[in-house]
Amino acid sequence: MRRNSMMIVICCSSCLLASISALCGPAASAPQQSIPIFTPDGSLGWRPETFFMTPAPDGPRPVSIDASAYTATNPFRPLQSFPIVDLANPNLQPWVAEALRAQNERVRAGARLDSNFSSCRPFGLPTIHQMTARPIYILQSVNEVVMIHQYNSEVRRIALNKPHSARPKPSWYGESVGHYENGDTLVIDTIGFNDKGFVDFFRTPHTLALHVIERWKLSTDGRALEVNLRIEDPGAFKAPYELTQRYRRVEDPWFEFVCAEAGNGLLNQGLDPIPQADKPDF
């Protein structure tokens, strides 16, 4: 990297940390018993503990790997190959099961499949909760909560104490509104998703009707987060299902993550092409 580029990265990182301190100010000055303080200082982030989120002990199950396709000598390795998924899940609408069946055939035939992030597309919800390799940073202010994911510098904005729009514009992360409960929990309600993403790293599709409710609960000692999720989409699943992810607090400095500029796929890995803008943002 040339010196000028390095200076830009350093300046951007410094500006972000300054913004964290500024945004955390109003929340940090509020009474501790009124809201959970997720980021007491700008160097603290949160990292998911497990790649596979924990399903509820009863009720419908999420999509999972087909255990019969793997053996002790040939186990599924998440970072080395794309999984063959279980098609016997009774909660899938027929078109979703068919899409996953076609996907299994491609995997068995040796085709290369990857999740959205391999081509620098947004993770979306609830997939972002499976990104264990990089932390997130939570910025709190009076009117909103901002979640910045270090991987690909993705941003979520949660408006506080306001209703949803009458017709939210579909987007990768949808329209999120939230409120605090019991002094230790942030409740986030999200609708208005586009249908370009997946609900998991298995590439399980969803419709525009996807509705995700998250409950972010801070532990008593402030060193852990438990996120309970309810995923509802009558167009893709016959009934809502629930998952839990746990985050641990980490002291990781923010660094700028390069994705689209890094030239993914230059070695002919067979990745999905990186999307190209057909018009300027402004």
Domain that holds residue 48: 3-55+117-252
pLDDT band for position 201 (cuts 50, 70, 90): confident
In a domain, 125, yes or no: yes
**CA 22, 223, 240: angle at the middle one, nearest 5?**
95
Tell whether 68 is covered by a domain.
Answer: no
Q: Does the residue 229 lie in any domain?
A: yes
- Number of independent structural domains in the chain: 1
Residue 139's SS3 state is strand
CB atoms closer than 10 angstroms to residue 205:
19
Residue type, 267: L
Please state the rounded mean pLDDT for residues 61-87: 81
Domain with residue 16: its CATH number is 2.40.128.20
Residue 70 has pLDDT above 80, yes or no: yes
In a domain, 80, yes or no: no
Residue 93 maps to a domain: no
Q: Is residue 126 part of a domain?
A: yes
pLDDT value, residue 87: 94
Residue 167 in any domain: the answer is yes
In angstroms, rounded to a whole number, what is the distance separating the alpha carbons of residues 266 and 9? 24
pTM: 0.80
For the chain, the average pLDDT equals 81
268 pLDDT more than 70: no
Closest CA to 242 of 207, 278, 273, 215: 215
Let me know if residue 225 belongs to a domain: yes
